[in-house]
Structure 1
Amino acid sequence: MVESLNLLPTVLWFVVVLLFVLGLAGLVLPALPGSGLLLAAVVLGAWIDGFERVGWLTVTACAVLAVLAVLADYVAGVLGAKRVNAHPYALVGAALGTLVGLFGGIVGLLFMPFVGAGLGEWIGRQDTRKDLGRITQVGLATWLGMLIGTVVKLALGFLMVGLFVLALVV
């Protein structure tokens, strides 16, 4: 019985590492809640350590970064679409295109949000259905907004991991 209790921290640290890996993947893959998984890893790691090395300040800073990551993702996509006065369906189409793109590997993840945004614009606006230039412009602007949001999410996510590791080591 005592041996199994000694194994528990090792198993929990394995879960922390797994949460970090899944969290970082989730910053790019829309099917996983990336920043939430990263925050869960930070909280679990701090708890395992009894909040001695990774204290509440680090946990709070990571929580703020997680919220900022979610907001950045949303705001960047909306701003990209609003910049070209896109129909709300363009954002929905970009999100659905991202989900469909999961099955197409990296090419699908990069290409399908653009296609989805263009289709969303085409469905949402009767007056632009024949204007391929307009549909392409909306698709590109929405896609760029989502791409910028993803880059910001990645930067904030790696900052969360860095803060955790720094607190653990120092």
Structure 2
Amino acid sequence: MAYALLALSQVAGLLLVPFGLPGTWVQVLGVVGYAFATDFQTVGWATLTMVLVLAALGEVVEFTLGGRYARKYGGSRRAAWGAILGGIAGAIIGVPVFLIGSVIGAFVGAFAGAALMEYTRSPEIRAALRVGWGAFVGRMVAIAAKSAIGVAIAAVALLSALG
């Protein structure tokens, strides 16, 4: 029964990640719950540490890739920070829209933040839009990367629990 709940928490976490929700942390909580339920017989501190580090890495990757791609598409440091902060603000603002609001908000926020900050540096609209597009692409890459990290967490959790 405990293993089934662990597996369910891993699947649920993986389904939450693309929506900008804290899916990797749901996965970590599932591993912690399994460890306590089984008195740390198969899942120990090494596994718990590994999934915590992976989840933290997922957060860093998610919030920095938009900025990196804004820079890659010709943006300034200001545009990179605009993408990061815009993505966070957009995700928060989009929360009231059921299920997909935070995702759409994060994409729009990253685009708008990067484009606006680049436009304030150099008022050439085409360059600002290109940088905004870079932030948008970075956000897509970030979701893919965080999903891959979620798969790694699930693999570590489920294989460690087997024994």
User: How high is the TM-score relative to the length of structure 2?
Assistant: 0.74
CA displacement at 1:74 relative to structure 2: 2.1
Alpha-carbon distance between aligned partners in 1 of 2:109 and 2:71, rounded to the nearest angstrom? 16
Which residue of structure 1 aligns with residue 82 of structure 2?
Answer: 89
Of the three residues 129, 139, 150, the one matched with 1:157 is 150
Alpha-carbon distance between aligned partners in 1 of 2:158 and 2:121, rounded to the nearest angstrom? 53
Amino acid at match of 2:27: L
Alpha-carbon distance between aligned partners in 1 of 2:96 and 2:135, rounded to the nearest angstrom? 18
Contact kept, 8 Å, 1:94 with 1:143, in 2: the verdict is no
Q: What residue ranges of structure 2 are gaps of 5+ in the alignment?
A: none
Alpha carbons of 1:26 and 1:128: their partners in 2 closer, same or farther (altered >3 Å)?
farther
Q: C-alpha root-mean-square deviation of aligned residues, in Å?
A: 3.2
Alpha carbons of 1:48 and 1:148: their partners in 2 closer, same or farther (altered >3 Å)?
same
- Kindly, what percent of the aligned residue pairs are identical? 25
Of the three residues 19, 34, 37, the one matched with 1:29 is 19
Comparing 19-28 with 95-104, which one deviates more in the overlay?
A: 95-104
User: How high is the TM-score relative to the length of structure 1?
Assistant: 0.71
Alpha-carbon distance between aligned partners in 1 of 2:38 and 2:159, rounded to the nearest angstrom? 14
Q: What residue ranges of structure 1 are gaps of 5+ in the alignment?
A: 1-9
**Which structure would you say has the larger RCO, counting Cα contacts within 8 Å and 6 or more residues apart?**
2
Contact kept, 8 Å, 2:111 with 2:136, in 1: the verdict is no
Alpha-carbon distance between aligned partners in 1 of 2:95 and 2:32, rounded to the nearest angstrom? 32
Q: Partner of 1:27: helix, strand, or coil?
A: helix
Which residue of structure 2 aligns with residue 116 of structure 1?
Answer: 109
Deviations 1:45-92 (A, max 9, x none): 111111101222211111111111111112222212233222633433
How many residues are treated as equivalent by the alignment?
157
Alpha-carbon distance between aligned partners in 2 of 1:138 and 1:102, rounded to the nearest angstrom? 28
Contact kept, 8 Å, 1:20 with 1:41, in 2: the verdict is yes
Deviations 1:85-143 (A, max 9, x none): 2263343334444564995987x947x655434433454434655x3322321122111
Q: Which has the larger radius of gyration?
A: 1
Of the three residues 57, 63, 68, the one matched with 1:74 is 63
Q: Does 1:20 align with 2:13?
A: no
